[in-house]
Amino acid sequence: MDTKLIFSPSAEVETPLLAVLAVDAAPKGAARPEVRLLAGDDDPEKAARALLDDGEFKAEACETLLIHNPPGLKAKRLLIVGLGKAAKLTPQEVRKGAGTALRFAKPRGLREIAIVAPAAEGLDAKLTVRAVTEGAVIADFDSDTYRSDRKDRRMHTVRVIAPGAFDREAAEAGLREGAIVAESQNFARAMINEPGNRLTPTILGQRAAETAREFGIQCEVHGADKIRELKMGAFLSVTLGSDEPPALIVMKYEPEGAPAGPVLGLVGKGITFDSGGISIKAADNMDKMKYDMAGGAAMIGAMRAIAQLRPRVKVIAVVCASENLISGKAQKPGDVQIAMPPGPDRPGKAIEIINTDAEGRLVLADGITYAKQLGATHLIDAATLTAAVAVALGQLNGGVFANDDEAYGHFTDALKVSGERFWRLPVEDDYRDVIKSKIADIMNTGGRYGGAINAAMFLKEFAEDTPWVHLDIAAVSWNDESKPWIASGPTGTGLRSIVEWVRSFSE
């Protein structure tokens, strides 16, 4: 998709479809909505006034109103997209509105649209243009990759109209950043969408290496011999049941002139298919377990964006990729595995395997330790780790855990830019008793309650004193149904926040 920024008045833009975002500006308790178009000029509102006055369109979130041959405009169609109450307007609502406009246009055969970046009090120009760009690019992704009758409905051009009041430099930066981040998110979504037979750990490593070459960063992909050499017993135990070799993916971004300071470690779970192992999953929805590498895809996609955005901070990404399958060689409940030693004079932790379907925390444990050995001073990991996080938070918020308030503060700052939704859950020391083992140091699962917390507590054992943030994205990485602004299938959630977390250390 080609994204362009223009500063022409909306009335002068020739386009098959001009999209303008609208809010309900009525005061609280008002009997009827007061629709206000955020176009930066009066022409779209004049064109739509007759329909707006009849009260049918209320500017509710993602509500649409289409006008053909709007008077006074050069556009063939005017689409008004509601954002909800003006008092609750955020860049995330703008992102959804732009996505709604694009997904409205695609099935109608339109390949070019123009979207007016909304001018409203409290909205930053750069962030607003970025939100429009991200919303449009993200909305262009569809998951029907292998359908023989698939029609090419990709949008060719999106023009973002910046109102005259917008600072040109800020708007241009917003467009550029939005396109980079959203394209990287779609890149991650495309990998998450791949079936397990078409995205093995080896192929995931190849994709990472190709991306690194394209954008000029370092990448090494190691196999089972290196994993054994590093004594990554936790990671290796997950690989035993599969004939597909594992891949230890390491990507490094080291900008010239980066000041001495933090080295950020990004660690991703890369389980390209998860059967549960001997603790096998139910057959229903097991096909979706191709998405169990969403955390790893988020990290590879984040490095793709970081390489282009060029923050002045060193970043290391570690993705532990494997299948979790069943065979005569697979690990068993009751086995004890030894994790990677944290240092030359310290033994690796002994882990009692209670459930082979709790494999994500095993690969992350060694990934976290290795990132620290490579020099990471601050850590963030992402994984489709537990179904329990959906029980706790539903499918609207991801779970976030942290052992350090300053590192978590960087993440909350990142959310203000990314617009993604995460809710902090505890990792207090009292929870550690749940994962104590009678035969080993720790177990890989706890009791019935607090499953997402138990998994986080397990990972905390390996982060130790290193500032660490853990994202459990199991509930938010896949849309079972399409939404007005995004297709069904993989979401790429977490990537935007990870990128902004990294950039916050640069600034």
Q: Given pLDDT bands bounded at 50, 70 and 90, which one contains residue 220?
A: very high
pLDDT tens string 364-404: 999 999 999 999 999 999 999 999 999 999 999 999 999 99
Report the half-sphere exposure of 305 (CA within 13 A, side-chain side): 30
- Among the listed residues 252, 290, 314, 361, the single catalytic one is 361
The residue assigned the tokens 């409905």 is 153
Q: How confident is the model at residue 507, as a pLDDT?
A: 67
Strands 336-338 and 398-402 turn out to be: unpaired
Print burial letters for 122-144: b (CB count within 10 Å at least 16), e (below 16): ebebbbbbbbbbbbbbbbbbbbe
* DSSP SS3 for 37: strand
Q: Kind of pairing, strands 35-37 and 157-161?
A: unpaired
Domains of the chain (ranges; CATH) run 2-163 (3.40.220.10), 186-506 (3.40.630.10)
Q: Are 164 and 12 in contact (CB under 8 A)?
A: no
β-pair partners for 469: 380, 402
* Mean pLDDT, rounded, for 207-228: 98
User: What are the structure tokens assigned to 356, written together?
Assistant: 């082979």
Q: Is the pLDDT of residue 169 over 90?
A: yes
Q: How far apart are CA 94 and CA 100, in angstroms?
A: 10
pLDDT in tens, 285-302: 999 999 999 999 999 999
How far is the C-alpha of 262 from the C-alpha of 305, rounded, in Å? 19
The closest of 247, 252, 456, 488 to 371, measured between CA atoms, is 252
Q: What is the largest CA-CA distance in the chain?
A: 78
**Tokens, residue 402:** 């942290």
Q: Report the amino acid identity of residue 137.
A: V
Q: Write down the residue that tokens 């005569």 correspond to.
A: 328
Q: Distance from CA of residue 268 to its chain's centroid?
A: 12
Across residues 316-336, what is the average pLDDT?
A: 98
pLDDT at 150 over 90: no
Can 436 be counted among the known catalytic residues? Answer: no
Q: Can you tell me the distance from the alpha carbon of 127 to that of 120, in angstroms, rounded to the nearest whole number? A: 12
Q: According to the model, what pLDDT value does residue 283 have? A: 97
Distance (Å, whole) CA 314 – CA 461:
24
Going by C-alpha positions, the residue among 224, 273, 447, 470 that lies closest to residue 371 is 470
Q: Using DSSP, state whether 327 is helix, strand or coil.
A: coil
Mean per-residue pLDDT for 235-260?
A: 95
Residues of the chain with pLDDT > 90: what percent? 93
Nearest CA-CA partner of 123 in 357, 496, 419, 454: 419
What is the amino acid identity at position 495? L
Distance of alpha carbon 263 from alpha carbon 260, whole angstroms: 9
pLDDT, mean of residues 16-40: 94
Residue 236 has pLDDT above 80, yes or no: yes
**pLDDT confidence band for 109 (50 / 70 / 90):** very high
Residues near 443 by Cβ (< 8 Å), separated by ≥ 6? 351, 352, 353, 354, 435, 436, 437
pLDDT at 29: 85
Which residues are paired to 81 by β-bridges? 21, 64
What letter does residue 280 receive in the DSSP assignment? Answer: P
* Cα dihedral across residues 351, 356, 361, 364: positive or negative: positive
Closest CA to 435 of 417, 422, 453, 416: 453
Average pLDDT across the chain, whole number: 97
Structure tokens at 62: 């993602």
pLDDT at 260 over 90: no
Average pLDDT over residues 19-42: 93
**Band of pLDDT at residue 310, cut at 50, 70 and 90:** very high
Phi, psi angles (nearest 5°) of residue 220: -130, 140
Residue-wise pLDDT tens digits, 427-436: 999 999 999 9
- Residue 223, φ and ψ in degrees, nearest 5: -105, -160
Helix (H) and strand (E) counts in the chain:
13, 20
Q: At which residue do the structure tokens 């993200």 appear?
A: 138
Q: Is 361 a catalytic residue?
A: yes
Alpha-carbon distance of 278 to 293, in angstroms, equals 19
Burial 252-291 (b: 16+ CB within 10 A, else e): bbebeebeeebbbbbbbbbbbbbbbbbbeeeeeeeeebbb
pLDDT of residue 445 exceeding 70: yes
The one catalytic residue in 46, 76, 281, 312 is 281
- Per-residue pLDDT of 330-339, as tens digits, reads 999 999 999 9
Query: How far apart, in whole angstroms, are the C-alpha atoms of residue 505 and residue 259?
Result: 11
User: In b/e form, how buried is each residue of 49-60, taking b as 16+ CB within 10 angstroms?
Assistant: eebbeeeebbbe
Which among 383, 367, 353, 363 is positioned nearest to 278, based on CA atoms?
353
d(CA 62, CA 60): 6
User: What is the chain's alpha carbon radius of gyration, rounded to the nearest angstrom?
Assistant: 24
